[in-house]
Every structure is written in C-alpha cells, then in structure tokens.
Amino acid sequence: MRGGFSLHSCSSPAYKSGWGGAIINMGGVSAHQGHVESCHVTAAKAGVIGFSKGLAVELAPFGIRVNCVVPGNIKTEQGTSRDTRIPHPSGSKPLWGREGNPKEPASMIRYLCTSEASDITGQTIHVNCGLYLP
C-alpha cells in the first residue's frame, strides 16, 4: 500500500500533462478469499484493489486508466507463489488443475497498457486458472 501511495503522490503532476496512460496495480486472490494465518496480507491486497478503483475515478479526467491484475498461484523456479502446505479453508483449487505461468498475468498487464484496452479502467482482472470466480 505504501508503495502505491508514494508513487501516486510523486507522479501526480505528470498525470495532469494530458498524455494519458495506464497504471496497473497487482492485487492478490487473498483479498477475495483470505488465507490461513495471513489476515494482514488479505487486508493489504484488498486495500490495493480499493486504491486502484479510487485512483481510476480520480485520474479519469486526465486520460489515465487504472486497473488491478490479480494473479493466482504462480509456478516459478523457486517454487509456488503460495505455501501450499497450508490448505485453503475452502479447499479451492484452480479449475485447470495447475498453477499459473508468470507469462500469463504479464500478458494481461501488457494488454492493459495498450490502446486496444482504452475502454478498460477501474477493473479488477483475475488471471488465476479458475482459482477464484468472482
């Protein structure tokens, strides 16, 4: 949360230049489901989503689009992005039966930064192999 607020306060003058643009924040599925022993993460990720929506309203007059991408569990060289030893209380598993690839949320972020996504703002977009269905 602090990073988003700091970046916004430092960048505010540039927003008013009228050049337009896109800001993509990273949320977390825990904002919608919660996880065992991590209520602080749940609160922070929910805050990022709320901040993104508020910022979308605030920056719309300047042609700035703001969205939030929420990845699910991502498989990396170091392992999974979440401690899978702690089961989720709902027992949820991705519908596709696999963890995500880092390229999948990256592709969505890249798309949201293009002019092809010029009508998308204030949205929370889940890229999670069907782990969470809003």
Residue 124's pLDDT is 96
Q: Which residues pair with 75 in a beta bridge?
A: 80
In a domain? residue 7? no
pLDDT digits (tens, 9 = 90+) for 105-123: 999 999 999 999 999 999 9
Identify the domain containing residue 59 by its residue range: 20-127
CA 30 to chain centre: 11
Residue 101's pLDDT is 84
Number of domains in the chain: 1
In a domain? residue 134? no
Q: Do the strands 75-76 and 79-80 form a parallel or antiparallel pair, or are they unpaired?
A: antiparallel
pLDDT tens digit at each of 134 positions of the chain: 788 878 888 887 888 787 889 999 999 887 877 767 778 888 888 899 999 999 999 999 999 999 999 998 787 776 555 555 455 545 567 666 777 888 999 999 999 999 999 999 999 999 987 777 76
Residue 7's pLDDT is 81
In a domain? residue 45? yes
The CATH number given to whatever domain includes residue 37 is 3.40.50.720
Residue 32's pLDDT is 73
Residue 104's pLDDT is 92
In a domain? residue 4? no
In a domain? residue 8? no
Report DSSP state, residue 99.
Answer: P
Report DSSP state, residue 96.
Answer: T
